[in-house]
């Protein structure tokens, strides 16, 4: 693992993702001072109280003073953030992010950063929680988790190595991937589950017997719908940003659902059992699952 020492880290968006990044690097002894920037002064004040950041600053101050900037805001805000920090970035300042989509973020960076685009190394940690805000930050959040970097042709190899080392100091496993491949994969395994969980909750609460159903629900319902508690603003931006990939996955999922519905209508118990068996085995053999 590369030895890393960041003089000043700036986190834009000190919630679960940004706060956990700061907390993990601070615990690893990899950072000197941590600055925090964002839209809500009360959130930044809470982050200071919790020890996640040392000081709340403006975006301009973050760009001027930081050696590494981590953007953990909703992806819809990225272009404006890039445009605001671009004129003030130090020549050696590295910018990276935790956005759940990459093609649109890279487009926003090219627009907002302009000639500074080489200083941006895109990334996405495959970790999260339904919890929100600085109080949800956890230095262990990225332990053993995968972080996908989608480097640009303009990036300097040393800058990529610095971002990779930062994530490794957080305990993450880092891989590099093409932005289009990234967006297609996360549409299936991250964005679609949230979409389904949110729509299912909408279906439940929209019925006349919603209260009865909710009072009857147990642990399966709890586990299945947990991700529907995520930030509406963040997930709205994700769905709109990754619209084409999500739509493609919805078409594929609908085909599977139609086949299963046909089996149920036709009393095809053999197909249903085989499908359930294959699903159970696949879930049990998935390395990310719990035994």
- Taking only the tens place, the pLDDT of each residue in 75-129 is 889 999 999 999 999 999 999 999 999 999 999 999 999 999 999 999 999 987 7
Q: Where in the chain is the domain with CATH 1.10.3660.10?
A: 181-285
Dihedral of CA atoms 131, 96, 191, 220 in degrees, nearest 10, equals -30
Cα dihedral sign, 250-254-260-261: positive
pLDDT score, position 130: 72
Query: What CATH architecture applies to the domain 7-177?
Result: 3-Layer(aba) Sandwich (3.40)
CB burial readout 128-154, b (16+ within 10 A) else e: beeebbbbbbbbebbeebbbbbbbbee
- Taking the C-alpha atoms of residue 18 and residue 55, their distance in angstroms, rounded to an integer, is 14
**Nearest CA to 229 among 136, 162, 147, 148?**
136
Supply the pTM of this predicted model.
0.83
Is the predicted pLDDT of residue 246 greater than 70, yes or no? yes
Decide if 78 contacts 99 (C-beta within 8 A).
yes
pLDDT score, position 291: 43
> At the topology level of CATH, where does 181-285 sit?
6-phosphogluconate dehydrogenase C-terminal fold (1.10.3660)
Q: What is the pLDDT confidence band of residue 1, given thresholds at 50, 70 and 90? A: very low
**Backbone torsions φ then ψ of 96, nearest 5 degrees:** -140, 180
| pLDDT-above-90 percentage for the chain | 89
Q: Where in the chain is the domain with CATH 3.40.50.720?
A: 7-177
Tens of pLDDT, residue by residue over 39-58, are 899 999 999 999 999 999 99
């Amino acid at each position: 693992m590369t030895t890393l020492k960041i003089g000043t880290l700036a986190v834009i968006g000190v919630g679960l993702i940004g706060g956990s990044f700061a907390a993990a690097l601070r615990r690893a002894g990899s950072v000197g001072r941590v600055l925090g920037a964002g839209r809500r002064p009360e959130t930044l004040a809470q982050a200071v109280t919790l020890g996640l950041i040392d000081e709340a600053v403006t975006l301009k101050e973050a760009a001027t003073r930081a050696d590494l900037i981590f953007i953990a805001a909703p992806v819809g805000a990225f272009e404006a953030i890039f445009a605001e920090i671009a004129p003030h970035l130090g020549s050696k300042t590295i910018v990276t992010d935790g956005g759940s989509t990459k093609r649109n973020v890279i487009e926003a960076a090219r627009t907002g950063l302009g000639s500074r685009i080489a200083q941006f190394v895109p990334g996405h940690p495959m970790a999260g929680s339904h919890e929100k805000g600085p109080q949800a930050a956890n230095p262990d959040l990225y332990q053993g988790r995968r972080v996908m970097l989608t480097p640009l042709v303009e990036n300097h190899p040393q800058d990529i190595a610095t971002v990779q080392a930062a994530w490794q100091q957080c305990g993450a496993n880092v891989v590099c991937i093409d932005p289009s491949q990234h967006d297609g994969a996360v549409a299936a395994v991250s964005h679609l589950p949230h979409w389904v969980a949110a729509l299912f909750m909408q279906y439940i609460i929209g019925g006349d017997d919603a209260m009865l159903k909710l009072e009857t629900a147990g642990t399966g319902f709890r586990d299945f719908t947990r991700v529907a508690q995520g930030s509406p603003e963040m997930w709205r931006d994700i769905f709109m940003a990754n619209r084409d990939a999500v739509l493609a996955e919805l078409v594929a999922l609908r085909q599977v659902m139609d086949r299963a519905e046909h089996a149920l209508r036709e009393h095809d118990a053999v197909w249903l059992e085989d499908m359930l068996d294959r699903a159970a085995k696949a879930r049990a053999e998935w390395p990310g699952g719990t035994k």
